[in-house]
Each structure stands twice: as structure tokens, then as C-alpha cells.
A and B are shown apart, each in its own frame.
Chain A
Amino acid sequence: MILDLHTHSIKSDDGRAKVVNYCQWIRTKNLPIDGFVLTEHRQFDGESDYSTLARQFGITILKGSEVETEYGHVLVFNVTAPLVAEFDFARIDLSLVRVIEACEKHGAVAAPCHPGRKRVGMCAHIENLGVPKGVKIVEIYNGGSRGDEDDQARAMAEREGYLGIGGSDSHIVSHVGRCATRFPAPIGSEAELADALRAGNFEAITYRNQAVGD
């Protein structure tokens, strides 16, 4: 099963994509992904219900979040009510270690995203802050990366022994599915996604610079 683990909809302040249009795009363009995770900036969208869309298009639609720490942005998977109560998702100065600890306490998984990006990526902060404790997974393919950002991310992951995931970081419809993560078994819920990530059996993939679909 292939999931794009990093997408934004109009629920994010800089997102311009409607979820229904993501679904239409994936099907119309025959993208080789089975679903996507909505990781809205600095929030968890607990209200939206995309189950009807998911059934209509036969696409897995899951929800997570992208929070902001002193090490840059971090994807959080399997967000639950107890986790939301642990820290303020809207803050831009969260402690990465505390986010990871809270995630582990509540069955969630945290993964720094676009780590090679200036200011908002983890690589840029390691020199000053040191290697943070508890990181196990980082995003090594990001659809919005420029220059050698993904190379930096992969080099850091190899150096520190991190596992790698992929996500498009799409903010507009046509950018969904540029990068993704392949899992060996079907995933139907946020909890199953967290289990699969903890199991460590997955592979980051990129479709950038490739013709996909029709």
C-alpha cells in the first residue's frame, strides 16, 4: 500500500486544495498511490469527516498534523484527543523531545519533515542544538524540496540511523502524490498507520521527475 504521508488542504493557512479535488486528481491521473494523510499546519482537524469521499473514490484518507518545534516542522500521525490535550498544536516553539515523548505516551508517531530545508528543517538546527533524543523516523523525500534538501535529509538519516518516509507536502491539488511511502500491508486507520510506522517496515519513494499516471 502506498500512502502520501504529507498533504495540506484548505484547512491549512497556505493550503489551496479541496480534499474532493485531491481524490478526483488521483483517480483521473491514475496516480500510483492508495491514499494520503492530511497533515494540516499547527492544528489537528478533528471535525472533518472524509469517510464518504474515501468510499466514493476508493481512496484511504487519514488525518495527522504538522507541528512546529525548535528543530523545525514535525509530522504527527495518529493524533488522538489525549494527545491534543498534551500540548498546544498552534504554538511555533514546541520542544521536539516533548512532542516525541507525548506521541510515544499516546500511541502516536512523530517524524521531522523536510529536514534539509533552511530554518524549518531539522538539519539546520543540529549544529546549534545537538542531535535530539527520540527521533526514529524523518521525511527523506519531500515533494516541495529544492536543491539538495532531500540529499541532506537522506545523509542525516543514514548518519543517525533514522528510517525514512516520503510525502508530497502538497498544498495544491496537482502536487499530491509526488512523494509517498510504501507499506507491505493495507492500512485503514490512523492507528494502523502508527503501528506500521513503529514496525519500521516501509520504504520512502519519490515520483518527482517521473511521468506518473496517464
Chain B
Amino acid sequence: MTVGKITEVEFGVELPAFDPDTSMTNVRRFAKAANWMGPRFTDHEAARKEGLPGALVPGIMSQGFLAAMIHRWAPDAQIEVVDTVFRAPVIVDESYHITGVVTDVDEETGKVEIDLTVTNDAGETRVFGTATVRLPR
């Protein structure tokens, strides 16, 4: 279900969950487009040599997934801020789940705040944050 106007948004509503494509193929495609072709993002073995548990999904790609989830829910939303805290690395080729929930609604300004959480299959929070979006009144 999508929303179009601020009056359609209720406190506590969950956005449709989203499982991002964190495959190496997709990450390499993103890294090339973003000019972030470092081996720590595109090569598991090279990343492990740097002491990482595997190749990392770039932070800006994770933020892009969060923005994509918001726009799936509210195509006309203007995203003002996506503010993330990376608690643990997001690893390429592992499964993740993104959830979002509305935690503040200001009908006067049209602003909505959304809690965002990226978890792995074990239910561990890898990334959390908030987004501030503006919807038409």
C-alpha cells in the first residue's frame, strides 16, 4: 500500500518491508556507478585481507536501499534526511531485511519521521537510523 498525502499517514504504521539485493553483482554495479570501486566492496578475499569479515556493502548503497523503501511506500515523498548509525558491517552476499515505521507525524508541516532498521537473518540490528520526509498536504 502506498500513501500520497500527509493525512493518510498514521503514527506507528509500518512501511512495507524490503529485502535489498546485496549480491556481489549488484554491489559491483553500484560501486562502478558511484565510483567506489575499492576492493573492500567488490572482492571478498581482498576485504578479508584488510581484516574485514567479507566485502562490505557501501554505506551510501545501504542508505540508497533505505531511500528506495521509503519511495516504494510514498512515491511523492521528499526525503529530507536519512540519518544512519552503522552498528555492524553489512556484508555482500548475506541476507538483510529493512523495516521502517512511522514514529512522528506533523500534519502542519507535512513532515514524517521514520525509524529505519537493517537486520540480518539472526535478527541482529546492523544499521539503524531515522528519516525525515515531507509529504504533500
Binding site for B on A (CB under 8 A): 14, 16-18, 21, 24-25, 28-29, 144, 146-147, 171-175, 208-209
CB nearest neighbor in A for B84: A16
Min CB–CB distance B29 → chain A (angstroms): 29
Q: A146-B124, A147-B124, A209-B123 are in contact. Are A172 and B12 (CB under 8 A)?
A: no
Binding site for A on B (CB under 8 A): 11-12, 83, 85, 87-88, 101, 103-104, 113, 115-117, 122-125, 128-130
Q: How far is the CA of A14 from the CA of B124 in the complex (A)?
A: 18
* Residues on A with beta carbons closer than 8 Å to the beta carbon of B117: 172, 174-175
- Decide: A172 and B123 in contact? CB cutoff 8 A: no
Q: How far is the CA of A147 from the CA of B53 in the complex (A)?
A: 15
CB-contact partner of A173 in B83, B88, B103, under 8 A: B103
- Decide: B124 and A25 in contact? CB cutoff 8 A: no
Q: A25-B103, A28-B12, A171-B85 are in contact. Are A147 and B122 (CB under 8 A)?
A: yes
- Decide: A172 and B124 in contact? CB cutoff 8 A: no
CB nearest neighbor in B for A18: B104
Q: A14-B85, A146-B124, A209-B123 are in contact. Are A21 and B104 (CB under 8 A)?
A: yes
Identify 5 residue pairs between A and B in the complex whose beta-carbon atoms are under 8 Å apart, listed by A's number: A16-B85, A24-B103, A29-B12, A146-B124, A174-B101
* Residues on A with beta carbons closer than 8 Å to the beta carbon of B128: 16, 171-172, 175
Which 7 residue pairs spanning A and B have beta carbons closest together?
A173-B103, A146-B124, A174-B115, A28-B12, A16-B130, A172-B115, A174-B101
* Residues on B with beta carbons closer than 8 Å to the beta carbon of A25: 12, 103
Q: A25-B12, A209-B123 are in contact. List 8 more A-B contacts (CB 8 A).
A: A25-B103, A146-B87, A146-B88, A146-B122, A147-B122, A172-B117, A172-B130, A175-B128
Q: How far is the CA of A174 from the CA of B101 in the complex (A)?
A: 7
CB-contact partner of B129 in A29, A144, A172, A209, under 8 A: A172
Q: A16-B83, A171-B85, A172-B115 are in contact. Are A28 and B129 (CB under 8 A)?
A: no
Min CB–CB distance A190 → chain B (angstroms): 26
Q: How far is the CA of A24 from the CA of B101 in the complex (A)?
A: 13
- Decide: B103 and A21 in contact? CB cutoff 8 A: yes
* Residues on B with beta carbons closer than 8 Å to the beta carbon of A172: 103, 115-117, 128-130
* Residues on A with beta carbons closer than 8 Å to the beta carbon of B130: 16, 172
Min CB–CB distance B33 → chain A (angstroms): 29
CB nearest neighbor in B for A13: B85
Q: How far is the CA of A172 from the CA of B114 in the complex (A)?
A: 9
Min CB–CB distance B49 → chain A (angstroms): 21
